Amino acid sequence: MAKKLVIVESPAKAKTIVKYLGKDFDVKASMGHIRDLPKKNIGVDVEKNFQPHYVTDPRKKAVIQQLKNSAAKADEIYLASDHDREGEAIAWHLTHVLKKEIKDKPVHRIVFHEITKSALQEAVNNPREIDMKLVEAQQARRILDRLVGFELSPLLWRKIKPALSAGRVQSVAVRLIVEREKEIKAFEAKSWYRVQAWFTLEDDGQSYELKAESPVKFATEAEARALLEECIGTTFTISNIAKKPGYKNPSPPFTTSTLQQEASRRIGFSVSRTMRIAQKLYEAGHITYMRTDSVHLSKLALNMAKDVITERFGENYIKTRQYATKSKGAQEAHEAIRPTDMHNKVVSSDITEQRLYDLIWKRTLASQMKPATLERTTVVIDSTQRPAMLTAKGEVIVFDGFLKIYADRKGAAISDTLLPPIAVGDILNLQKMEADERFTQPPARYTEASLVKKLEELGIGRPSTYAPTISTIQKRDYVEKKDKDGIQRKFTLLRLEENHVRHHEKTETVGAEKSKLFPTDIGGLVNDFLTKYFDDVLDYNFTALVEKEFDDIADGNMEWHQMLKEFYTPFHKKIEDTQQEAKKFKGEKLLGNDPVTGKPVFVKIGRFGPMVQLGATKEDEKPRFASLPPNKTMEDCTLEDVVDLFKLPRTLGQFEGHDVIVSSGRFGPYIKCNKSNYSLQKTDDPFTIELDTAIKRIREKREADKQKVIAVFEDGDIQLLNGLYGPYMVVKGENYRLPKGTDPTTLDLAACKKIAAETKPSNKRWRKKK
DNA sequence: CAGTGAGCGAGCTTCCGCTTGACTT
């Protein structure tokens, strides 16, 4: 029987397809790219017209072997990788890696956008050749990224510090964060005054409140005060009530980027967590593919949404729509992210999986529901002296539409802002009038999700790389995700009370931040260096510009070697010039002179990151160094913040015949005594701590260690210990897990040796590195 | 986890985009 092999990218997709294709077909997954440039060296022969040197990934060995076996058995091969630039390249690489196995066999390239029997049939019936233009565009993309990354990074190692990295995507991501921080620093809040009034109304024995605001903002306290004073003893009348219909439309179904944003905003997931959970839902068959830039829904999905909405909410809620993808550089190889079967509202007993699914389910159905209809009311209130002095606003939902399942952007529950029963000509009873000082807001720091949004807008990065990019810039210490406490700010409140305008000083907490991205000193320095010498690559439009050229290559309007040459020649010259001319980039800053020694104190970036230096480098005496205090940056630390650092190490006295020394290490201050180290408590101040407290800490540590030890054999060569994750065994420095269900207290020497002989030590490479 | 930071020099680091496990403390 004729056997046809279909190769797709994802194993989950393979599993689904095989059901539709029948017995003649064998379906296998390539698991993404199977060949790439080598990891260790640049792998591009620039002299020979940018000849790439591809190697197969050693971790993909098993996958490739399987593909080879299947290909050898098949009579006909269908390369069904995704319908985009990378997918085309995967198909082409497959023909090379499987060269022997597919020799003399018909090889077809097929693409499909929906996984349905008819779509698959149609794809199989309409095979084509591999589009070499598209493959060349991918190669140009790959090679350009390699050249940029592998020439810029080593320059950073030489000029700034080892193990740094730069690239077309990550460096722009860092730049966005660094520049946003500069904007925030440079921002000066301006204040203005808002006037609000509260009225009481009686109707049918019921009492209501009406809140109104002045449509005019006041620049100064004096102006606001003048208005309030004018209102002493005045009469307020409703002069107009205007009603206007309004609409709210649902958002399109999810793409990777919008899913990440909404999951962050509504359920507080980090970008990587969202992707991990979405992957699980995808593998279980609950949602369509989660790495997509398309808002397109298949016909099948549109019909299913219609059915489910009718069933649950009635026909009146249906409005079928197909959304158009607007984002720059979208390749639309997949559908939007949606439930595979919208009849299922609950698909997992895992709470986090279900929460994410629920969000996808609601967003998808909402996108196929009618807009919400609103009635917006504006009430105009005149004072005796001033027409239209105040306005009050109300909003009522006439028809909820999609809001029935998907609340609007703020994520707040849907609630009407109801106005009390009122009519034109009503005279209002003033209860309270206030003018409070408001401030203009600085630009907001990025969250992981809002950075993804910005990158997508700029056309930088792809759905498969948003999460990894965010983690790379954090791993490199360019950026850190942290919280910031708010600060107290004074503001003025004027209140009209008892026919007087009184002045009150109030305070409020502002500027508190949670899980925001802050640039580090290193991030700032690397960005300064790159924007100074490589402004073109760091330009926000660089990606868009080269993408245009990749498209030209794909359309046959540009030759790929030529494109690379035009970029690389000036780029490489700049690399060489910078290599020659640029001095070491240390970001050195003089803070002042040390009050004790009179020597200059600097902050700068060294091999291990930011540090403080006491004394100039060229002097006879070697300068002293110290790490910055925790939570301080080079940017914001002062001389006072750092002079104490040089008081360490301090010798406090003796304990058990050894010096007790307080010192500062990689992980902050600690106590050293007889070759052992002991942590300080958070409340201990290393500069003032005394001997008795230090001895107490030493005893505490010893006590804790005793608790940790379950048993010791062979002079400490074999130890049974209590760890963070339960009991484990250490044999000559190697850690071993205990077999499940073992009670460690029952183990004797022989039993320990047996475990050590039978199990492998835990892999140490997983430790270290963050 | 633990006293880093000049000088010397070997040997290391690094990109983006497509996929999923393997794996531990």
* pLDDT tens per residue, range A97-128: 999 999 999 999 999 888 888 889 999 999 99
* Residue matched to tokens 């997954």: A29
CA A239 to C1' B17, whole Å? 63
Determine the nucleotide nearest to A167 by Cα–C1' distance.
B15
Predicted confidence band of residue A620 (pLDDT cuts 50, 70, 90): low
Average pLDDT on A675-687 reads 76
Is the pLDDT at A68 greater than 50? The verdict is yes
* Residue matched to tokens 């230090």: A694
Does A622 contact strand B, using a CB cutoff of 7 Å? yes
Does A255 contact strand B, using a CB cutoff of 7 Å? no
Average pLDDT on A268-294 reads 96
Contacts of A185 (CB under 8 A, 6+ apart): none
Contact A317, A404 (CB under 8 A): yes
Is the pLDDT at A375 greater than 90? The verdict is yes
Q: How far is Cα A706 from Cα A722, in angstroms, rounded to an integer?
A: 10
State the burial class of residue A164 (Cβ atoms within 10 Å of its Cβ: 0-12, 13-18, 19+).
Answer: buried
Catalytic positions of A, written as ranges: 289
Beta bridge partners of A199: A210, A430
* Residue-wise pLDDT tens digits, A548-591: 999 999 999 999 999 999 999 999 999 999 999 988 888 888 88
Query: Cα A641 vs. chain centroid, distance in angstroms?
Result: 32
User: Which residues 417-476 of A interface with strand B at a CB distance below 7 A?
Assistant: 461-465, 468-469, 472, 476
More confident residue, A506 or A709: A506
* Local structure of A500: helix, strand or coil: strand
More confident residue, A701 or A194: A194
Phi, psi of A520 (to 5 degrees): -95, 175
Q: How far is Cα A62 from Cα A41, in angstroms, rounded to an integer?
A: 24
Most confident stretch, A57-66, A313-322, A575-584, A636-645: A313-322
Residue nearest to nucleotide B24 (CA to C1'): A766
Residue nearest to nucleotide B12 (CA to C1'): A163
* Local structure of A455: helix, strand or coil: helix
Q: How far is Cα A694 from Cα A700, in angstroms, rounded to an integer?
A: 10
Does A550 contact strand B, using a CB cutoff of 7 Å? no
Token digits of residue A192: 């203005």
| Helix (H) / strand (E) containing A300 | helix A299-313
Sign of CA dihedral A503, A507, A513, A514: negative
Query: Cα A759 vs. chain centroid, distance in angstroms?
Result: 39
Average pLDDT on A69-98 reads 97
Q: How far is Cα A656 from Cα A699, in angstroms, rounded to an integer?
A: 12
Contacts of A303 (CB under 8 A, 6+ apart): none
Percentage of residues in chain A having pLDDT higher than 70 = 95
Determine the nucleotide nearest to A617 by Cα–C1' distance.
B6
Amino acid at A514: K
Contacts of A475 (CB under 8 A, 6+ apart): A770
Q: How far is Cα A752 from Cα A729, in angstroms, rounded to an integer?
A: 8
CA A106 to C1' B20, whole Å? 29
User: Which residues 267-326 of A interface with strand B at a CB distance below 7 A?
Assistant: 279, 282-283, 289, 291
**How high does pLDDT run on average in chain A?**
90
